[in-house]
């Protein structure tokens, strides 16, 4: 059954202010699988893997899929057209995020220890401070189905190395050559780097990374998406169909229409 919740607890990053969500659940979102709308957009759904700040697959991510509302997916296809025209492709890290996943984030944050991935995601911020400092908070636009975490990749896309649990970790704030070998262009930090250097206007990154961030934001903004200043990767579709409703469907093909 589709679930709309009246109060959502967020995952990565506090979202922009929104009106209080509606307490009534709609009949169902019009989720689609992004690859069915545009196979050219690359996907790297980190929360379905062990390479994320928790260090294991996140609750609710049953398949490594990008689910979005039809409206957001079609808009992202237009952004991909524009990106390919300048020799780059979009790659999404996260799309729709179920409420149970945001609950999982907050549960993890409240548990002592369990921070084996700290070096790769929050090397300069203690786990106990992530909520108080705003890196984990509520609510999350992702649970409304029209928000994506996204980057740019050169075309043709370099191979994306696989993470092997237990392999040595590198700080997400380190120079690109030292970080986890993501095939993204250099954005100055890794994805989900809980650090001030992830802010869109950070002066802690080099000119190449600043230009890459500028290009990503320009492409996404032209396509109707709204950025989030504290996370270079986070964009919400401005004309989202469910601005006040947070869903808890699992990330699986059966949740798409």
State the binding site.
142, 149, 234
CB-based contacts of 165, cutoff 8 Å, min separation 6: 50, 55
List, in sequence order, the alpha helices (H) in the chain.
34-37, 70-85, 99-109, 118-121, 207-222
Beta bridge partners of 68: 32
Binding-site residue numbers for Zn(2+) are 142, 149, 234
8 Å CB contact between 148 and 154: no
Are 87 and 155 spatial neighbours (Cβ–Cβ below 8 Å)?
yes
Instruction: Answer yes or no: 231 catalytic.
Output: yes
Q: Are 135 and 122 in contact (CB under 8 A)?
A: yes
Instruction: Give the closest residue to 31 by CA, choosing from 76, 61, 73, 92.
Output: 73
Q: Which of 16, 74, 231, 240 is catalytic?
A: 231
Q: Catalytic amino acids?
A: 231
């Amino acid at each position: 059954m589709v679930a709309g919740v009246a109060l959502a607890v967020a995952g990565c990053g506090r979202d922009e202010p929104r009106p209080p969500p509606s307490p009534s659940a709609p009949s169902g979102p019009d989720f689609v699988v992004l690859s069915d709308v545009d196979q050219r957009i690359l996907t790297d759904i980190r929360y379905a893997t062990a390479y994320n700040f928790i260090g294991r697959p996140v609750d609710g991510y049953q398949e490594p899929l990008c689910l979005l509302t039809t409206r957001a997916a079609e808009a992202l296809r237009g952004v991909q057209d524009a990106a390919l025209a300048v020799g780059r492709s979009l790659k999404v890290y996260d799309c729709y995020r179920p409420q149970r996943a945001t609950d999982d984030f907050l549960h993890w944050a409240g548990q002592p220890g369990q921070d084996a991935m700290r070096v790769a995601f929050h090397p300069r911020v203690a786990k106990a401070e992530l909520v108080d400092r705003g890196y984990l908070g509520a609510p999350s636009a992702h649970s409304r189905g029209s928000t994506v975490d996204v980057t740019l990749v050169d075309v043709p896309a370099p191979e994306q190395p696989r993470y092997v649990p237990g392999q040595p970790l590198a700080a997400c704030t380190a120079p690109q050559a030292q970080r986890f070998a993501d095939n993204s262009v250099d954005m100055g930090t890794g994805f989900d780097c809980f650090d001030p250097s992830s802010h869109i206007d950070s002066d802690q990154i080099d000119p190449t990374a600043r230009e890459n961030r500028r290009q990503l934001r320009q492409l996404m903004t032209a396509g109707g998406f709204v950025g989030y200043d504290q996370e270079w990767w986070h964009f919400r579709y401005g004309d989202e169909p469910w601005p006040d409703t947070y869903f808890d469907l699992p990330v699986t093909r059966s949740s798409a229409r």
